[in-house]
Amino acid sequence: MNILILEDEELAARQTIQFLEQAGLLTEAPPVVRSVEKALSWLQTHPMPDLLFSDIELLDGNVFSLYERFRVTCPIIFTTAYDQFLLAAFRGNGIAYLLKPYSYEQFREALDKYHFLQSSFAAPTVPAAAPEPTPAALSPEVLRELSQALRHNAQPQFKQRFSVRMRNGLYILQVDDVAYVQADEGVTFAVDGAGTRYPLGGTLSELERQLDPARFGRLNRSELVNIAFIEKVEPYFNSRLAVKLRGSSAALITSAAQTPEFRKWLEG
């Protein structure tokens, strides 16, 4: 079975692959594509997969811009952290969705729906000259409605939670609880108000594009700060600023190059 995964979060992609293995559908690891442009390139140079697992927000934009540019005819199971994307329209078109974080049981239900639709339409009930349309394809009307929902709903454009792999499984960290994000020796961490560090997938620049710029501002090359956790800002050496966080004795320091932009960001 040929499967394609469109997913920008490494942990989420691993979970999808793990669940596919658990369901006995994999003979080899499926390709994982993290951006709209790379997905377009992949689809243009490979045969259509049998099934596509698709996140909605990829590294370079929402995935519906891909489906407007390239006609995907295979069934799509959407995997998303957002619940405001016309889910009824997905059901009406035979497209399943999985709301992150999801369990293996929910994943299995989506696969069962795919297999049911596949078997239901395997044998045509109309003459060959007038084949019944594939139920899993997104119609132009649904695409327009989904795209409009994305444009007019600002909230889902930015990440709301992180799935963090811990020793006992996946931990769900709400973005509201992140005081700052820090890159340290090649690993990016989210740090909460208590100072607990959570390893994340992706670079700091990639995460910066996924976070609301009105809430998270860049301090320097290795740190972003959540304005909700800033208690006060004080002058520091060499035209830099010391940013004190609520409930913490530590201070984050802006770089001299970033200080002017950080001041503008503070003023809104």
Which pair of structure tokens corresponds to residue 74?
A: 């295979």
| Average pLDDT score over residue span 197-212 | 88
The single residue listed with the structure tokens 């489906």 is 67
pLDDT at 154: 38
pLDDT at 136: 42
Q: Answer for the pair 117, 94: CB distance below 8 angstroms, yes or no.
A: yes
Confidence band, pLDDT 50/70/90 cuts, at residue 137: very low
Query: Residue 147 pLDDT > 70, yes or no?
Result: no
| Average pLDDT score over residue span 63-83 | 83
Model pLDDT for residues 12-26, shown as the tens digit of each residue: 899 999 999 999 988
The CATH T-level fold of domain 161-266 is OB fold (Dihydrolipoamide Acetyltransferase, E2P) (2.40.50)
**Nearest-5° angle of CA 149, CA 151, CA 152?**
65
Query: Residue 145 pLDDT > 60, yes or no?
Result: no
Which pair of structure tokens corresponds to residue 133?
A: 């349309």
**Peptide bond just before 213 cis, omega within 30 deg:** no
How many percent of the chain have pLDDT more than 90?
44
Measured from the Cβ of residue 199, the count of other Cβ atoms closer than 10 Å reads 14
How many percent of the chain have pLDDT more than 70?
81
The CATH T-level fold of domain 3-157 is Rossmann fold (3.40.50)
Which pair of structure tokens corresponds to residue 122?
A: 């395997």
User: Hey, which of 82-86, 101-105, 246-250 has the most confident mean pLDDT?
Assistant: 101-105
Query: Residue 139 pLDDT > 80, yes or no?
Result: no
pLDDT at 58: 86
Q: How far apart are alpha carbons 210 and 34 in whole angstroms?
A: 13
User: In 46-178, which residue ranges form alpha helices assigned H by DSSP?
Assistant: 64-69, 87-92, 104-120, 140-152
pLDDT at 19: 94
3-157 and 161-266 in the same fold = no
Query: Residue 142 pLDDT > 60, yes or no?
Result: no
Q: Outline where DSSP puts E strands in 23-83.
A: 32-33, 51-54, 57-58, 61-62, 76-80
**Nearest-5° angle of CA 236, CA 189, CA 234?**
15
Confidence band, pLDDT 50/70/90 cuts, at residue 81: confident
By the 10 Å C-beta count (0-12 exposed, 13-18 middle, 19+ buried), 34 is classed as buried
Model pLDDT for residues 160-192, shown as the tens digit of each residue: 888 888 777 788 899 999 999 999 988 999 999
Confidence band, pLDDT 50/70/90 cuts, at residue 157: low
pLDDT at 250: 78
Q: How far apart are alpha carbons 254 and 147 in whole angstroms?
A: 38
Domain layout of the chain by residue ranges: 3-157, 161-266
| Average pLDDT score over residue span 231-256 | 91
- Cα-based distances in Å from 36 to 59, 137, 151: 7, 18, 17
The single residue listed with the structure tokens 């002017």 is 260
